[in-house]
Structure 1
Amino acid sequence: PPPPAHRAAEAGEPVGRDLSDAIETALRGGSRKPRTLVQVAEALIDTGRLAGTPALLAPTLGAAVRGDNAKRRASGGRPRFREADGLVALLEWDLPSDAVNAERDALRAADRQRQSVRRAFIKRLRSLPDGALLELLATWLNAVGVHSLRGVRADVGDFSLAGTLRRGPEETPLAITIFRGNQPIQNDAVVALRGGLHHFDQARVGWLITLGQVRGGTLGEAHAEGAAPCAVFDGDALAVSMEEVSVGIHRASLPLAVLDVELLDSLGAASPRTSSAANASSDDSGDSDNNKRRRGRRRGRRRGGREEAGEDGNREESAEASDASDRSESDDSEPVKLEADSESSPQPTEDTEKKLADAEPPPESEVEQL
């Protein structure tokens, strides 16, 4: 039976940014040549990153490629992929290798700088008074789309808030628990938040926020199937989210130059066509000139042939006239007549001379008979 047009994602399959990273890994696994999306899907299936039919996975991969490029352009970065004629490739393959290496070093240095700033930012947050910290976090929550904040209860150093998460036309009641201590969050914090959702105006989603760290098992509990979804923000994740909305951390752009490969390729592809068209037109004009010369020479030869034929006819008529006069005149007048004809007629060509030589014997024979 044919495979279904839609399928559910299997456990462990990459999605979003992870899928874009998987596509990049698949492209780097072979030669530096563009591939079709079906070929990329086949490579991901062979490595166990995806499961299904390559033809059905190709549109998903295309969406991931275009989404990744759009996100990078929006943030002022260089697109990672290049699509042309149904093929996908890494854009860096068309860029100078030294420029790509320098760009990679600059991005790594910028990432180290951001991590240093985030650690310093979390350290400053821990030193803030409770009121100042709560005000700063409320500003961040409003920036990410959480409105109608109100306090539910507060323990020593911890806060519990209720709000509404707005994403476009969708509104979701939200329960928020904030831990300002440096202690790692355990699984019981997630279980306690889920069990108390009815205290947060019947919230359906929970957020756990801490300035410390999160144990590995806590994330697994937060993503447990069949339970209310919970998002967990440790210190690093909180700093990244606040950086994205420019609350407490501002971003400074470091300009990098990128070749406009598509523009240069389009101009480079147009030049040969233009030159070839110019060469073709020049060849055509040269051929036409040569044809004109050939036609002119043919006309000249035809005109020359007609003139020679006319001269031959005139000479034949004069020869016949001379024959008639030779019959009526004496032998003494015949040489004089021939001299007069030769002086009055133009110099004949070689062919004409041959014809005259062939035509002269009959009068001589007649003279001998006379």
Structure 2
Amino acid sequence: MIDRRTFTKAAGLGAAATAVALGAPPNAPAASAAGPRRPGRRPAPVIPAIDPGTHTAFTGLRRIRAGVLDVGYAEAGPEHGPVVVCLHGWPYDIHSFVDVAPLLADAGYRVIVPYLRGHGTTTFLSPATVRNAQQSAVAVDVIALMDALDIRQAVLAGFDWGSRTAGVIAALWPERVRALVPVSGYLVTDVAAQKDPLPPKAEHTWWYQYYFATERGRAAMENRRNRHDLCRLVWEEASPTWNFDDATFERTAAAFDNPDHAAVVVHNYRWRLGLADGERRYDRYERRLATRPAITVPTITLDPALDPFLPATDGTAYRKYFTGPYEHRVLPGTGHDAPQEAPTAFAQAVVDADHL
């Protein structure tokens, strides 16, 4: 099973962005590895180009009880339009989609952007609930949110934790997924494979994962100033050419003041390394994920060309996991936070995936 760590090892640390077209304008996607399209599908609408940072806030902020959570989320677009659920990662929040959401709303989609557990206004309903962030727990959160909002099926799009979560849902509950846009491909975590060391350069890139494995790292996350500065450092390293300003970071940093943020984040990274247990209620899902289930729904995978965690590739290393209609694209000039750095290309991938 390939996740962000094992895929780095499989693809090679110095792999070039082989799918990037020469002379392509910044943030213009390059497509490759196209698969079969569904018969009778109409051409996708063209998303108008905007500059990143055109929008700075959501207008439709809401809350709803769903599963074990009171979920805070943003909503945009027509109430009865086809649904897109956009899923953020760490250390990010819903503002990663602050430009993507209005683009999709203008294209006729109902866009739902939830704060994941431990972020922003999303809170646990009970103090007794384990502050667990294993992959299937976060996926169940999203299914519960869709149920609470009476959404039978949605396009799922995400990066980082959000990409993994979307992929898990597509693998376990394909009937709930209209189409899929995961940044960095097939990210389902293989806890057993995480025990194998990576080359030193790759291990260095993941420094915070190992920091969180220590009590010193936990204490840093529990301290507001240390948490703030640590998350900003990760932004700077993960998006080396994105010249975000202080206001952009601070809008997202507010989401890290959630009272469960430190516990959720630390558990996520410790669980991935096999250093923290999951909950038995999710064991059946994790057993299914351990079989490397194929994803059958229409999918466009995206590789940001400047993401330090994974080399941008032609997608062949994880192509076998996607058995439905499929395309792969590389986003030139883009770091880890793909939707916020390249909102037009990201939104276009969403509507194109929906029309595969």
**Do the two structures share a fold, i.e. TM-score over 0.5?**
no
Q: Which has the larger radius of gyration?
A: 1
TM-score (norm 1): 0.24
Bigger proportion of residues as helix: 1
